[in-house]
Structures are given as C-alpha cells and as structure tokens.
Chain A
C-alpha cells in the first residue's frame, strides 16, 4: 500500500486479557517505530526497529509490553494482561532508514480501550 497501515483500528478488551496490534510499514522502509498517545497527550516512544539490528526497547513501560518485527517488515506489538492505564491510541511510524532527519510516516493508529 501507499502508506503505513495498522490493524485493528479499534480494540476493546477486558482487563487482564492479551492483545496484539499489527503494523504494516511502507514498503522499503527499514526503520519502524511504535508510539503511544493517551487522550490529549503527546506521543510517547515505545520501541524502535532498524533493519536486522536489535530493537531499542527503552520506551516500553513494563515487561507486559513486547514487540517483534518479522522479515524486516510487519511488526506486532503485544500487551499481556492488559490494564486500564494501557488504554490509548497506539501509533506506528516508518521511515527510510536510521539517518537523522528522516521523515516518519505515521499509520492511522489502533485505539485500545481496556474495560
């Protein structure tokens, strides 16, 4: 596709359940980022993938959060034993590479609601 796609667009889950969020980056983009945006807040960095290098996981808020990227393309963000404070919009972005100043293209996001 022409842009970054994410699925599902909306997810409602019960507290304690696990969820998986998917991101399809722009073809050819080697860098992929996950951000979280709580209501009315800024963008909170979660994790960064660059090619086949080990991901930068420094932004993950707890060990309930994990992410993987298969084949240098699609990425899945997994949240285990979801809590109400996990409710937010999860945004994925990709860019051409690791170089500074490269444009990040955002997907439409997945709105996660934990009840």
Chain B
C-alpha cells in the first residue's frame, strides 16, 4: 500500500520552515526521503531505519515515529534550492528484499 504524504503542496517564502509528513498503514521498517526537481530524476536525501534516531543534512532533518508509523521531514530556513517535489519511500519488511513503495509526493515551492 502506498504511503500517504501531506500536505500535497506547500508554498513558502525563503527563510521559512516547512514540515512534510509520510504515513503508513503498515508497520514500517525504514523510510527514505527523495527530492525531485522538475525534469530531473529523484535524488536521495536520507534514510531512517526502525529504531534509528532523527537524522539531519544541513538544514533538512527527519524523524521516524514507529508508534505512529510516520516520518516527518523538516526543512528549516528554506532556501530557493529546496523547491521541488519531495517523495517518501517506505519499506515494510526487512526480509522481503522488495522495492520501496513511494508516496504521491509533496510539491514544495520556495519564493524569494
């Protein structure tokens, strides 16, 4: 089943913060976050594994709430370069060796 992302779209000004959520109805093993700019392939941001801690990369960080089966991506003091569509990918079973199932994406637009 496809994870659910929210919001579907967000517009903010440079320097503002944003949160993107990814929820699953099944028990998650890991969550991947990718960003895709228009006309380009998705680019990996980070992975959060079950039992792992919150991760961060520059001013982008993420958390993984196992109880809620939810991950949140935090973009702090957003920059113009953060614009793009953010996808979360989820893995449910560490033994399945199967593919990531992706959400439908959150379109983020950062305005000057």
Contacts and interface: CB of A to CB of B under 8 A. Distances in A.
Given A41-B104, A42-B105, A100 B29 contact: yes
Interface residues on B, range: 20 to 34
A56 B41 contact: no
B42 A91 contact: yes
Contact of A48 (B42, B99, B105): B99
Contacts of B102: 35, 42-43, 45
Contact of A100 (B44, B91, B103): B91
Given A42-B2, A91-B42, A106-B42, A101 B99 contact: no
Interface in A45-68: 45, 48, 50, 56, 59
B101 interface: yes
A44 to B, nearest CB: 8
A104 B100 contact: yes
What's the dominant secondary structure at chain A's contact region? loop
Size category, A interface: 20 to 34
B105 A106 contact: no
Contacts of B42: 43, 91, 106
Contacts of A33: 99-100
B30 A100 contact: yes
Given A50-B97, A101-B47, A42 B32 contact: no
Contact of A42 (B29, B49, B99, B103): B103
Among A45, A98, A100, the one with the most B-chain Cβ atoms within 10 Å of its Cβ is A100
A22 B7 CA distance: 34
